[in-house]
Amino acid sequence: MQVRSETLDIAYRKKATLVVMLSSFLLVFHFTVISVSFPQIQTAFGVDMETIKWVLTAMLVSTSVLLPLAGWLGRAAGLRNMFFLGFLIYTIMTFLSGSAWSINALIIYMVIQGVGAGILMSMAVAMVAILYPAEERGKGMAYWSIANSLGGSVGPLLGGYVADNFSWRLIFYINTPLALFGLVVCVLFLKKDVDRVVEKFDYVGFALISLAIVTLLLALSEGRVEGWNSNYILGLLTTFVISFAAWIFVEMKAERPLVEFALFKDKFFVAGTIITFIIGISLYGTNFLMPLFMQKVLGYSVLRSAVIIVIGVMISVFFGRMSGPIADKYTPRLPLLIGITLWALFCYAFSFNDTRVSFTALGLVMVLRGVGYGLSLPPMMSGALTTLSARLTTMASGMLNLSFSLGGMFSIAVLGTLLDKQELIHYANYASEQNYSSPATMSAISQLQSFFSSIGHAPANAKGLAISVLEGVVRREAVVSAFQDGFIFITLATLIALVPAVLMGKARRER
């Protein structure tokens, strides 16, 4: 849709914005509602966790492969047509996923659904950039951010409720009418595309970047299980490096490259891409750690954990609506720096949590996360696109979403490995301090042994039970310390984003 934002009437802008918000809400809602329902799906099909994780990994891989195509698809088919195709694929595959008869069928459906998700994800940001002129783009990104936050609010709550009370298939059947509604709204509200340009497709470039994305995501997904120094993982990483280098070489020589390198001459886009990658690390990383900590360490139910997460998400709705206009009026740098700092402060505060933390304290810490997320996201996206031409905007939106997804996968891969290793290290350290020559250890064992003897256990059994309880306490403390290390890692990664955020300061004046 090659329409200048200045020529669009306000009524149409509202309708088209609704389509964008609906698509964004749908994607985030779907990802979160499936994530919290993993245990039920795993039980239903009788598979291990390494198998069930492919439900989302497969979708993420196919989604990521579609993102570099955003620019070519938007020009060749038009945004309205691509929205329609994305909603159509998504609707059909959502229904079929709910009726999947095996885990393999579910994974296949999710792969195809990822194609629709990739189309919708890239076209949403591009549509905002077209609907809103540069001086109002922050406001447009705020609406997009609000939809993401609402999806992140409803998803965990509904997913937790369904996981605790109903069949896992319901999570797909609930999503189906939402996707169908999006399809209808797309047809009714969006104008027909004009000035479409069907350019020569860069088959070689697409094959190389797809190979690079797939091998990198597979390496990140499987590294923890296979071993980072295994031949399989090293082979994947080698293939990634070679295919990515070959892609750069081919694209620099191509007459019509899939991704134009003019994008990377724009300092605001480059800064935005780096920030997006780091925010992906922070968002996916905290979404990975928090439910595990609350359920594994604190013993919360899925629904109770979701309530805590939703507190931060709802706060982000308000601050997301506020940060967009601030970025428009002043610069993206101001809300970005404040938001990233608060996000890092949230991660650092969460690193002090242990088994004694209360529900109220967790909720208060989540307020920091909500404010940080709300202030960061709209200016991050609007600032990255602020000086780009209309031709490059759709292409850039795909690359920004790809950067976000890669940051997320990188974070989960690192954190999964970090938790495993740090738990073992902390357990060894704590266990070494609990020896029979230690008065504190002997006193603890003696008290526990007396307790078990008082309730009827034989002396030998009582001592064995006492030692088992002590070992359990040590292991639990090791798990808590490993989670704390994970949040320190995310804190440090988030702080790095402050450097490129400073570069956003003059974007409004130089546009």
pLDDT category of residue 2 using cuts at 50, 70 and 90 = very low
**Confidence (pLDDT) at 333:** 85
**Confidence (pLDDT) at 510:** 38
Neighbour tally for 364: CB within 10 Å: 11
pLDDT category of residue 508 using cuts at 50, 70 and 90 = very low
CA dist 353 and 492 (Å) reads 17
Q: What is the pLDDT of residues 157-205, one digit of tens each?
A: 777 677 677 777 888 888 888 888 888 888 888 877 655 566 677 888 8
The values of phi and psi at residue 320, to 5°, are -65, -40
Instruction: Tell me the mean pLDDT in the region 477-488.
Output: 88
Instruction: Indicate the Cα dihedral angle 213, 203, 20, 343, nearest 10°.
Output: 20
Which of the two residues, 57 and 470, has the higher pLDDT score? 57
Domain boundaries, the chain: 1-199, 201-255
**Confidence (pLDDT) at 440:** 59
CA dist 124 and 139 (Å) reads 14
Q: What is the pLDDT of residues 100-158, one digit of tens each?
A: 888 888 889 988 988 888 888 888 877 887 787 777 777 788 888 888 877 777 777 77
- pTM, two decimals, is 0.81
The amino acid at 126: A
Tokens at 265, concatenated: 């001459």
Which of 140, 191, 183 has its CA nearest to residue 397?
140
- Maximum mean pLDDT: which of 73-87, 127-141, 363-377: 363-377
Q: What is the pLDDT of residues 382-430, one digit of tens each?
A: 888 877 776 777 778 888 888 888 888 888 888 888 888 887 888 777 6
pLDDT category of residue 432 using cuts at 50, 70 and 90 = low
Domain 1-199 in CATH 3.30.1950.10: no
